[in-house]
Structure 1
Amino acid sequence: MKRILVLLAHPLIESSTINRTLVEALSKHEQVTTHNLYQTYPDFQIDTEKEKELLLCHDVIVFVFPIYWYSSPSLLKEWQDCVLEYGFAYGSKGNKLHGKTLLCMTSTGSPLSAYQPDDSQESIMKTLLMPIEKMAQDTGLNYLEPITLYGSRTAVEEGRLAPHVTHCMDKINALLSKE
């Protein structure tokens, strides 16, 4: 049976309607483990061995985080720097994550238009997430197309939160049923 690890990296989850609602929905699934990095490591002192064990016993890793100033929250980067060590995640013997899957579920406070330079129809989100995609490649993770909810500040009033959560849950269910 496949298992999914949701790594929540939101420094203000109590005040986040979008990410809190999403993680609450994800955590109801029996094959999903949710792990709140800011709750577990408020001092940024990451237990690398514990984190490696979590990675090893899951098939899919899902990063859930808001985009802050065109980047991920700092604890997610710290987690990557500490946990994805040479010899474990990369290098000649660093194959522990090979064949696992990585999915990012992100949200932005600003609307999509803030992420479309020069009135382009293309979002710069792929560029912003390029370091995570490259990390996935270097560690043997299968990187999936990220799911982003733009304009989270107005998502509830505009009726976009429920469809977003449904879309994310559908993706999780598809990953669990995929052999």
Structure 2
Amino acid sequence: MTYEKPKTLILLDHPDISQSRVNRALAAALEGAPDLAVRDLRRLYPDGRIDVAAERAAVEAVENIVLQYPTHWYAPPAFLKTWLDEVLIRGWAYGTGGPGALAGKTLRVATSTGGTTEAYSPSGFHGWDYSDILIPLQATARRLGMQWLSPFILHGVRDLTDEQLHGQAQDYRTMLVSGSVPDPVS
């Protein structure tokens, strides 16, 4: 039997995926999808101690990396930030005088928010477009020589019906398998 390595790796971080309606549905929609692998970081590292060598090997082996998480205080959850800090260090990911280990790969974010699309605008409740909130991750991709892909942002998740969530989860799967970006509901 020949093992085919996945093309896309989803790095999932959720403080308690068992209690998540949205991120659990998004991750479940990816099960069995061709060329995709999901690494649930909190399940892999319940003690918070990241196996840096294993994580580097996982991201080196793929073409595309997706960071999937619920937005917490306008950012990824703290454990995903810890993953970025510990895995993407100088001399391996960047700053080697040449391209780092992830140069040429793609980076995409898949995230969810409680607020509506309209709330994430200069005149909205949050006062910023969501694209502005993603600038640090876009800068990370650029610094690493990665191509930034359009994010999958699912706004207003508290108001999604089960049917809408199922549709969005299927769109997420389709996007990752085909590379196209559907328009999430507001």
TM-score by length of 1: 0.89
Unmatched tracts of structure 1, length 5 or more:
none
Distance 1:34 1:56 in 2: 15
Amino acid at match of 1:30: P
Q: Which residue, 155, 159, 165 being the options, matches 2:160?
A: 155
* Per-residue deviation, residues 105-157 of structure 1 (Å, max 9, x unmatched): 1001222233223149x962111111111000000111111111111112125
After TM superposition, the structure 1 = structure 2 runs for residues 154-173 of structure 1, keeping only pairs within 5 Å, are 154-156=159-161, 159-173=163-177
Displacement of 1:94 after TM fit? Answer: 4.8
Q: Which residue of 2 aligns with 1:110?
A: 115
Q: RMSD in angstroms over aligned alpha carbons?
A: 2.1
Structure 1: 4+ residue segments shifted above 6 A: none
Amino acid at match of 1:16: S
Contact 1:8 1:35 in 2 (8 A): yes
1:3 aligns with 2:7: yes
Structure with the largest fraction of helix: 1
Greater shift in the superposed pair: 161-170 or 64-73: 161-170
Q: Which residue, 146, 153, 157 being the options, matches 1:141?
A: 146
Amino acid at match of 2:61: C
**What SS class does the counterpart of residue 117 from structure 1 fall into?**
coil
Give the paired residue count: 174
After TM superposition, the structure 1 = structure 2 runs for residues 120-131 of structure 1, keeping only pairs within 5 Å, are 124-131=129-136
After TM superposition, the structure 1 = structure 2 runs for residues 13-162 of structure 1, keeping only pairs within 5 Å, are 13-91=17-95, 92-119=97-124, 124-156=129-161, 159-162=163-166
Distance 1:18 1:124 in 2: 21
Q: Which residue of 1 aligns with 2:183?
A: none
- Cα separation, partners in 2 of 1:127 and 1:38, compared to 1, 3 Å: same
* Identity between Structure 1 and Structure 2 (%): 33
Greater shift in the superposed pair: 51-60 or 38-47: 38-47
- Cα separation, partners in 2 of 1:169 and 1:123, compared to 1, 3 Å: farther
Unmatched tracts of structure 2, length 5 or more:
181-186
**What SS class does the counterpart of residue 110 from structure 2 fall into?**
strand
